[in-house]
A = this chain, B = another copy of it.
Amino acid sequence: MQSQAVLPRNAYYLARFEAEKERFLEEWKTLLRIPSISNNPVYDVDCRRCADWLKTHLEQMGLMAEVVPTVGKPVVFAERAGDPGLPVLLYYGHYDVQPAEPLEEWLSPPFEPTLRDERVYARGALDNKGQTAFFLKAVETVIKAGALGCRLKVVLEGEEESGSAGLAACLVERAWKERLKSDVLLVCDSEGHTIEIPGVTMGLRGIIHLALTLKGPAFDLHSGIHGGAAPNPALGMARLLATLHDADGSIAVKGFCDSLTRPSDEIKRLLMAAPFDEECYIRDFGVSPAGGERRYPVQERLAFRPTIEINGIHSGYDGPGHKTIIPSSARAKITSRIAVGQDPQRSLQSIIDHLRANVPAGLTLEISDEDGSHGALAVDPASPFVKRAARVLQSIYGRDPLYLWCGASIPVVVSLIQAASAEPLLVGFGLPRDRMHGPNESFSMTQFRNGFLFSCLLLEELSKPSA
């Protein structure tokens, strides 16, 4: 048997994974059993429990850890000393998850993690408990191997899925900036390209959101007696939302796209190097890529173009048969992804102004839960950390990673980069079929293993004096 020092590092960590994977799985499942849904106060106690569990776990791994109260959900912060001559790595993750609705579509309960065909099904299996779990297990393994030389900081927040208010409030504090100061911020909260082809994420879109209520009659009215007199909020909401886009999918909100910048030719080349497989998309998601601004290629639409999406619309009757009413109100939830160049506050304001200017006659619009604090992120392809991550990925997959632009948002990452004065490094192992945010979210043992190997090897890479 080869000794640890002689065994190639990939093979060594692969062997460690194989030896430990049952325990890794059990710990990951323990984390998944906690319904740490952040957008609903009902689950506050579970969020707190999740933070406490992580603190204890990080301490058992050999880090100094604490649960720090914030104006929102607590933040878990942990660190481990390292060689001052080496880069400081800050890992960011989140322990909160999306709501699990629609519950009836889950094949196994969302908070009873279930292994089927070497794949763990649970809310958060991927986002972000799966990717955080492989990183923590990598840290533990590299420490045990005596190979962790660089200083490590870990910040795990509990509100990524609902606006990151707690952590964001910390990030403006000088003490927090000092505490988080680091050279590179590693975030594993995005997707790779395929199971065979890794990816480094080079950009994220920003996000703004708002909720609408369109009020009409004081109560539901008889649609025969009142039809032709009373304005209908369900119809009015449809008409109002329909004004947001032109017929070709372009956003019709005045001023919204004003400061949007087009990607450079070099970036476009990298973007288009990751092909978009339409047939595969249709097979995986049951729908053709017919959404968005159709005059742009789909890769550009997903990365460098903004969107205004309706996440929910609800009004009136939805039971069996029909009910002849003019509903008294209609509700809608909107999130908009903004691209590089757009200012979140100004973009939000332009949507609000547009909506207010287009309220159908007789109805009253109320806007709530509006937030425009999270801009887009652009990673520099020339960053040395990106290059080192690419080398590590090459050694695991046997091929260079693709550079990916993710249409999603990790709201707090832009602020975190500024607060920590760090260079961003975004490497994710999720895949479309994992159904992040949807029912039956899952993450395979293979993806977990790849993420684990990447984390181990990156930690070693950053621990080399020459690096």
Q: Which residues of A are in contact with B by a Cβ distance under 8 Å? A: 38-41, 98-99, 101-102, 105, 161-163, 191, 205, 207, 209, 211, 216-232, 234-235, 237-242, 244-245, 276, 281, 285-294, 298, 301-302, 305, 307, 309-328, 330-333, 335, 337, 360-363, 369, 406-409, 432, 435-440
Q: Do B292 and A228 have beta carbons less than 8 Å apart?
A: yes
Interface centre among A244, A322, A332, A335 (most CB of B within 10 A): A322
Q: In the docked arrangement, what's the CA distance between A222 and B310, Å?
A: 12
Q: Do A408 and B101 have beta carbons less than 8 Å apart?
A: no
Q: Do B310 and A229 have beta carbons less than 8 Å apart?
A: no
Q: Do B224 and A406 have beta carbons less than 8 Å apart?
A: yes
Q: Do B313 and A238 have beta carbons less than 8 Å apart?
A: yes
- The 5 A-B residue pairs with the shortest CB-CB distance in the complex, in nearest-first order: A290-B362, A224-B408, A218-B286, A39-B321, A228-B292
Given A223-B335, A230-B291, 4 more pairs with CB closer than 8 A: A205-B224, A225-B432, A228-B307, A241-B242
Q: B163, B287, B307: which contacts A223 (Cβ < 8 A)?
A: B307
Cβ contacts under 8 Å, A432 to chain B: 225
Q: Could you say how many copies of this chain the assembly holds?
A: 2
Q: In the docked arrangement, what's the CA distance between A98 and B317, Å?
A: 11
* With contact pairs A219-B438, A221-B437, A319-B101 given, residues A314 and B311 touching in the complex (Cβ less than 8 Å): no
- Taking the closest CB of chain B, its distance from the CB of A433, in whole angstroms, is 11
Q: Do B230 and A285 have beta carbons less than 8 Å apart?
A: yes
Cβ contacts under 8 Å, A408 to chain B: 222, 224-225, 324
Q: In the docked arrangement, what's the CA distance between A205 and B225, Å?
A: 9
- Taking the closest CB of chain B, its distance from the CB of A248, in whole angstroms, is 10
* With contact pairs A162-B321, A224-B205, A406-B225 given, residues A235 and B39 touching in the complex (Cβ less than 8 Å): no
